[in-house]
Amino acid sequence: MTDRLAELSRAGVSIWLDDLSRDRLTSGSLASLVARDHVVGVTTNPAIFAKAISAGAEAYAGQLHDLWARGTCVHEALRDMTTHDVRWACDVLRPAYDASDGVDGRASIEVDPRLAYDTEATIAEARALWWRVDRPNLFIKIPAARQGLPAIAACLAEGISINVTLIFSLTRYDEVMDAFLEGLERARQAGHDLARIASVASFFVSRVDTEIDARLDKTGTAAAAALRGRAAIANARLAYQRYERMLASPRWAALAAAGARPQRPLWASTSVKDPAYPDTMYVTRLVAPGVVNTMPEATLRAVADHGEVPADSVRAHYSDARQVLTELAAAGVDYDDVTAGLEQRGLELFDASWRELSDQLAAKLRNPCHS
């Protein structure tokens, strides 16, 4: 099973699991994935935790009882439960962190998504999570909304490692990289060890195809049909091209000379939503040096079983990727409208998941015996 995953790792792709639950931790499932399947990181989000806590009631029952007995409010109880799991995941991943000198072996936890449009509250929440988990291999996830950009820079300036999430557009990605560079420049001025500050930029993939394919289907032309399933990979490939441009810039060279490490592109939302497409396409068609691919276990298993892993499936395709975006515009697909809508809906989805989880937890805390 691990041969294809080993090939992916040798090609320069870090394999992260897009899932976490108390059951996965207590059963040793995560530890097994780390030991056998080249998994070197974990990402979470509010939807993942909502599913984990609602489906794994028995695993959380003891902690829920204690939280109820202490009279803990819902918000703090939720943070106690999620930070407990992420801290545990950090410990499971610590050998990978040490072996990679801090590049991999990371676990992510997201700030309260209700704060996405409040810069100061996001910074305060990131600090609190960083302090509460208290592990060097933690990533704090901050959405790439416009108001989140100064929060990203501010947190990096304080030495907090950041996973920037919900990136859909190339323009926003440029802004994220700028915030990263600014944050490290400020950290250098403050005397922080830049080698200890890490960041990834989570560029979402499959959701782009889902939205654009729906628009192409409404167009109903043969030219539109020929573009189905091509937008997301083209978008991600062009993001990698911009990442390479950043690495070639004098601004980055100065930071690298001071010990900084790149903000790696992370491919998120890599499970295939359309059954007509190969179930490994958002992994095998986005292989490039220095990227992270975070995937649910089903996608990881599919890659291990039948994924055809190339040495590089990105850098030779920049011209083709630009052509895809040109043809999409000619077909009437408004790229800016698509990506802006996806960002907004992504934040709304995480907000709704967080509120749903809060409601579920409130009911459990009122009557923990009926969890």
Active-site amino acid positions: 141
Q: Which residue has the tokens 């990979």?
A: 233
> How far is 314 from 316, CA to CA, in rounded Å?
6
Phi, psi of 101 (to 5 degrees): 55, 40
- Residue 24, Cβ neighbours under 10 Å: how many? 24
Residue 273, Cα to own-chain centre: how many angstroms?
Answer: 18
What distance in Å separates the CA atoms of residue 287 and residue 270, rounded to the nearest whole number?
12
Q: DSSP letter at 369?
A: G
Cβ neighbours for 338, distance < 8 A, ≥ 6 positions apart = 168, 208, 211, 212, 215
In whole angstroms, what is the distance from residue 105 CA to residue 40 CA? 5
Q: What is the dihedral of CA 126, 128, 132, 135, to 10 degrees?
A: 40
Handedness of CA 133, 78, 206, 344 (dihedral sign): negative
CA angle at 303 for the pair 319 and 293, rounded to the nearest 5°: 60
Produce one character per residue of 197-214: b if its CB has 16 or more CB atoms within 10 Å, e if not: bbbbbbbbbbbbbebbbe
- The sign of the CA dihedral 108, 130, 174, 330 is positive
Cross-strand partners of 269: none
Cα separation, 76 vs 88, whole angstroms:
18
Angle 148-157/119-133 helices, nearest 10 degrees? 40
Q: Reduced to 3 states, what is the DSSP secondary structure of residue 333?
A: coil
